[in-house]
Structure 1
Amino acid sequence: MIQTTYTLYQVSQVIMHINFVSIHIAPSPRAIPLGVGMIAQSLRSQFPEEISTSLIDCYIPQDPAVQLAKVLAGNPFAVCISIFLWNSESAIRLIQDIKGSHPEVLIIAGGALPTALPDNFSSIREIDHILPGEAENSVIELFEGLLAGKPQPRIIPQGQPPRLEDVPSPYLGGLIKPAEYGGALWELSRGCPYKCSFCFESRGTTGIRRFPEDRLQKELKLFQAAGVSEIMVLDPTFNFDARIAKRNLQMMSTLAPDIHYTFEIRAEHITIELAQLFAGLNCTLQIGLQSIHPEVLNNLNRTCNTETFQKRIHLLHEQQVPYGFDLIFGLPGDSLRGFLESVDFTFSLAPNHVDIFPLAVLPGTALFDSAESLGLQFLPEGDYQVIKTPGFTPEDLSAAADIADFVDRFYNQGKAVSWFDLILEYLDLSPTGFFQIGASLADLASQPSSPLDFQYQVIHRILEHLNCTSRYPLIQDFITYFWHVNGVFAEALDASPTCGDLQFNPTLRTAAFMYNPFEIIQWIESGIHDFGIIQQYMHASRHMFAFACADSELTFLECTEKEFDFLHKLTAQCQPDFNEALDMPPRSRERFVTAGIAARSI
């Protein structure tokens, strides 16, 4: 085994400075350096007089020279980099750039890929040490040895996983400042009770270890005080223990009720009480389904009883809890037909969103070890995506990928859950029938200005394909209505627009229609779902509406032409003509206030 020795003279700085680097896909409230932050905080707490640590955030699109300058800031003795599937190419290039310009800097690599492939990464000569697995303890052992001038192995042994009650919080320690990110990644526990063969957790520690409740309460209070808008809870099965899940949900509702939470859960552990607690929280649930076929799931060390699954999801549906599903195509034992059956089942449950992924045969997983016996062919590096299986030809995988792309753009980004089933009913299509026709007719390579424009394009082409384009204007209005109504509850302008003594609602949206959308909704609610019949009884004329959210309720105003033009400019963040605002009839100003889309400034 290769060893590297650093003498006492080399590390006898008054304070040894170490930069911990995360390379994210892009800036976002979820691009939080929690992994390296946990390790850096452990090291800082153990050696407060000898070692200082900094967290460096880099992003894949950044210029390599910019990344290099950030990472070398503060003249670090060592740079620790976390390497994952999505950033491995950027991370390795950065490591080589560091050693090329500053060969004296110690390079330490950790993360999922070095954990799975330690020997592969030890062959990269620029890497001095590898910290596989949970490294809060092993990083301390490494630097104890370096500070003592003792030779250290290239690959640091993992040893026993750390006791979570002994692991300091980088949030509470001030190393990660949530206010700077707007969001937080939050660990309540580590470990997973399941051993799904495609997941890194399949080779992790058995059982679940939990962080102390008093730590979680302090972190949650910190998040609330910092104005964090969203938290991604990292527990792979948040609701495995219903008793603990209930206690944690009550804690969130009490201490930080304004934050949006995202949880990963298992459907079979949903209870009525948990569904009610989720409903009382601003949250979204992500549920891994992957496939509905027992013979496929058996190859993954998973099970799913579809009847039970439906019943448990119905509990969430009754409580109006937003939920989404994960599906994987290219699974061993599956086929394109079987995958489409899973898609149809998924959309029968009215999910808020559906994330569909190609199978990745990840190094370090049980599936990686059994891939050859299952007949899986996959890319040997990069994203390790499957390229052929006994049930999927390359053409089948390409067709499934087109559907995945289409579902994301049309359904997820387009927030189509409110109306999609009604369109399917009218067109007499299954979900996959719609997706296949839509993906074949739509220009998936184009980038429409918005998801709504993409939906317009797709619906028009499908109606052309089915020879019923005369229904398009009414269906377009129907879709447009839900886009804006859903939008007022999900998005707001950067600031509340003001004009004169009026301060306008920051959720304000405007839209023009050929048919009155509220009349369309009345027909739908009366049980008439045939858009052709509805259109026969409606009069086409221009209708202009303003929408907003006031006191958690939808408010709207049918506008005059002048009012609509004024408000449209306002929502487009253009400055309306000041004289026009002053000349606006008093009745319009009162109408804006009465409708709840504006209030008089105090």
Structure 2
Amino acid sequence: MTILLSTLNARYAHASLGLRYLLANMGPLQEQTTLMEFVIGAKTTELVERLLAKQPRIVGFGVYIWNVEETTRVVAMLKRVAPEVVIVLGGPEVSHETDKQEIVRLADYVVTGWGDITFPKLCGEILHGPKPLMKIHAGVQPPMADIQLPYALYSDDDIAHRTIYVEASRGCPFKCEFCLSSLDKTAWPFGIDSFLAEMDSLYARGARLFKFVDRTFNLNVKTSQRIMQFFLEKIAAHPDEPVYAHFELVPDHLPEALKATIAQFPPGALQFEIGIQSFNPEVQTLVSRRQDNAKAAENIRWLTTQSHAHLHVDLIAGLPGEDVDSFARGFDQLVALGPHEIQFGILKRLRGTPIIRHTEPFGMVYDPYPPYTVLATDRIDFATMQRLVRFARYWDLVANSGRFNHTVKALLADSPFASFMAFSDWIYTRTDATHRIALEKLARLVQQWLQLRGMAPAEAAALLASDYAGNVDKPARQAGKPPHSAAEPRKPAAPERQVRHLAA
């Protein structure tokens, strides 16, 4: 193949939608272009060997916050052993602050932003002339109708074993400064008829797990209704073949018509990812986030009580202007609303995002290495931020894992945040670890903590047994939650929702 399209995914299950878009839009060059996807953690020499075995003239890499360090090593080695191979970079991580990145220095060309038209054009110039003079090429945004949809490029193996990422629109009209989508002018929809025809084709080929990466799925309610109706019809026609659809929702925009449609979905068919990020109005204003908190809370409460949808709701710690007490109040408020999972994320300074304007006024200190996590602010010192990081990890292991559904309620008897922070501090003193804690050991520690808090040993054991049915390795499945193998991993290797949609 003359042109290789490659990236390092966070996991094997994360098939790259972005690379498939590029391949679908290569035009006359498509026949001499192929995909080679890898997974982070692989040995650099092996990746380079496999790439060069195809004898490419051009290698295009999708570069993201979770793979930039490893991709930099791959590019550096390629340039040493095969300097004649032309390296082209694209993706959100190299679309901003290009002058500050080692991977950009090593590469031959960079396409920033939209690559659907610009990347094939650049490849044609590299292969056939005239040779491009500029290193950085700003991606041209084509009309949405001119973009070839990539879904036929998911292989049968992808459909059988990997998450099928899809998008009915690109962009976002909101301006939340911690998100790269704040740079978009608006949201641009694909033609709904052609999009649904592609979804029908995927379904006919056996796809049953659809993850929408639209930033604002419910922005246009008529479009949302048509897409959801598509899935309802499939469920009605084939009740023995479960369908699972994942959407990101704007929390304060849930009109009655959309509620009526959502209420029709059976258990295990629907997951909503909802970004609250902060319930503090002053913090929301600082980061240009428009959100009706009362309406958002009302909608989350409705979804938890009146629908079978599984709710995954996000909060971000470390935003400018927010101290621990403010975050704790928001966390307690969200726990009271009863979502199935709360993703407790720590702020990341994504390249190009306007959040940088708050760095000096609010003493924001960020890790210089990916994923650029905030280390301290003028409201939260480094030691406290590390406690929050551990809280987030233990919360994932205990509350979000689905293994302690009954027990976790006892852990949150008083203020949920204060109670779990005390547990988090204690368990860290006992383990000095946040990873590689065996499930059986974790269960014992949870029981010990409950006893330290005054629960009788027999009662604590019975509570854990209600989750584990007497076997720590066979936790009871969370009601209404799809099997873990049929859903996006609860704790992705990539960072939280703040950057997760960049996988597209």
Q: Give the TM bin, normalised by the shorter chain.
A: 0.7 to 0.9
1:42 corresponds, among 5, 11, 25, to 25
| One-letter amino acid matched to 2:3 | I
Give the letter for the 1:33 counterpart. Answer: S
Q: C-alpha distance in 2, partners of 1:227/1:183?
A: 12
Structure 2 CA distance for partners of 1:262 and 1:123, relative to 1, 3 Å: closer
Contact 2:169 2:187 survives alignment (8 Å): yes
Structure 1 residue identity aligned to 2:341: H
- Specify the alignment match of 2:280 in structure 1: 293
Aligned residue for 1:265? Answer: 249
Q: Which amino acid aligns with 1:310?
A: A
Deviation at 1:72, TM superposition (A): 2.0
Could you tell me which amino acid in structure 1 is paired with residue 359 of structure 2?
A
| Aligned CA distance change for structure 1 residues 476 and 255 (closer, same or farther; 3 Å) | closer
Query: For residues 535-554 of structure 1, what are the structure 2 equivalents within 5 Å?
Result: none
Structure 1 CA distance for aligned equivalents of residues 426 and 122 of structure 2 = 58
How far, CA to CA, are the matches of 2:145 and 2:337 in structure 1? 40
Q: Which amino acid aligns with 1:168?
A: Q
Of 177-186 and 228-237, more deviation after overlay is shown by: 177-186
CA contact (8 A) 2:4 2:33 kept: yes
Measure, in 1, the Cα distance between the counterparts of 2:485 and 2:248. 30
User: Is the Cα contact below 8 Å between 1:403 and 1:439 reproduced in 2?
Assistant: yes
Q: Deviations over 1:168-197 (max 9, x none)?
A: 122225679643543201011111010110
Q: TM-score, normalised by structure 1?
A: 0.73
Q: How has the CA–CA distance of structure 1 residues 448 and 214 changed in structure 2, closer, same or farther, with 3 Å as cutoff?
A: same
Letter aligned with residue 291 of structure 1: S
Q: Deviations over 1:551-584 (max 9, x none)?
A: xxxxxxxxxxxxxxxxxxxxxxxxxxxxxxxxxx
* Corresponding letter in the other structure for 2:273: Q
> After the TM superposition, which of the residue ranges 479-488 and 75-84 deviates more from structure 2?
479-488
**8 A contact 2:403–2:477 mirrored in 1:** no
Aligned residues: 469
How far, CA to CA, are the matches of 2:309 and 2:197 in structure 1? 27
- TM-score normalised by length of structure 2: 0.86
SS at structure 2 position matched to 1:47:
helix
1:324 is aligned to 2:324: no
- RCO higher in structure (CA 8 A, sep ≥6): 2
Matched position secondary structure for 1:116 = coil
Quote how far apart the aligned CAs of 1:291 are.
Answer: 1.1
> Does the Cα contact within 8 Å between 2:387 and 2:425 map onto a contact in 1?
no
Provide closer, same or farther for how the CA distance between residues 152 and 185 of structure 1 changes in structure 2, counting only shifts above 3 A.
Answer: same
CA distance in 1, matches of 2:336, 2:309: 16
What does residue 351 of structure 2 align with?
Answer: 363
8 Å Cα contact 1:192-1:236 kept in structure 2: yes
C-alpha separation in 1, matches of 2:127 and 2:155: 23
Contact 2:402–2:477, Cα closer than 8 Å, also in 1: no
Change in CA separation of 1:61 and 1:122 when aligned onto 2, cut-off 3 Å? closer
In 2, Cα distance between the equivalents of 1:492 and 1:368? 37
Cα shift at 1:361: 1.3
Cα distance in 2, alignment partners of residues 270 and 34 from structure 1: 28
Opposite residue 152 of structure 2, the aligned amino acid is L
2:68 corresponds to which of 66, 88, 104: 88
Q: Residue 354 of structure 1 is aligned with which of 334, 337, 342?
A: 342
- When structure 1 is superposed on structure 2, of 303-312 and 207-216 the one drifting more is 303-312
Structure 1 residues not aligned, in runs of 5+: 1-15, 495-602
Contact 1:267/1:309 (8 A) holds in 2: yes
The answer (yes or no) to whether the contact 1:99–1:105 under 8 Å persists in 2 is yes
> Which ranges in structure 2 are unaligned for 5 or more consecutive residues?
487-504
Aligned residues of 2:405 and 2:478 also touching (Cα < 8 A):
no
3-state DSSP of counterpart to 2:32: strand
State the shift of 1:416 in Å.
4.3
Match of 2:498 in 1: none
In structure 1, distance between residues paired with 2:32 and 2:194: 23
Does residue 306 (structure 1) correspond to residue 293 (structure 2)? The answer is yes
Write the letter of the residue equivalent to 1:42. N
Partner of 1:568: none
Residue number in structure 1 paired with 2:113: 133
2:449 to 447, 454, 461: 461
User: What code does the residue aligned with 1:293 have?
Assistant: N
Q: Which residue of 2 aligns with 1:434?
A: 419
Output the CA distance in 2 between the equivalents of 1:190 and 1:174: 20
Which amino acid in the other structure matches residue 330 of structure 2? S
Question: In 2, are the aligned partners of 1:128 and 1:154 still within 8 Å (CA)?
Answer: no
Shift, 1:393, TM fit: 0.5
Alignment match, 2:491 = none
Output the aligned Cα RMSD: 2.6
Q: 1:26 aligned to 2:14?
A: no
Give the Å deviation of 1:157: 3.3
Deviation at 1:478, TM superposition (A): 2.5
Tell me, what secondary structure is at the counterpart of 1:89?
Answer: helix
Local SS of the residue matching 2:355:
helix
Inter-partner Cα distance in structure 2 for 1:207 and 1:428: 43
Q: CA deviation at 1:492?
A: 9.4
Question: Which among 94, 115, 129 is matched to residue 95 of structure 2?
Answer: 115
Distance 1:39 1:121, change over 3 A: farther
Report Cα offsets for 1:432-464 as digits up to 9, x if no partner.
1331222123234463443x7624421332222
Matches within 5 A, 1:226-245: 226-245=205-224
> Which position in structure 1 is the counterpart of 2:2?
17
In the TM superposition, residue 235 of structure 1 has moved relative to its aligned partner by 0.3
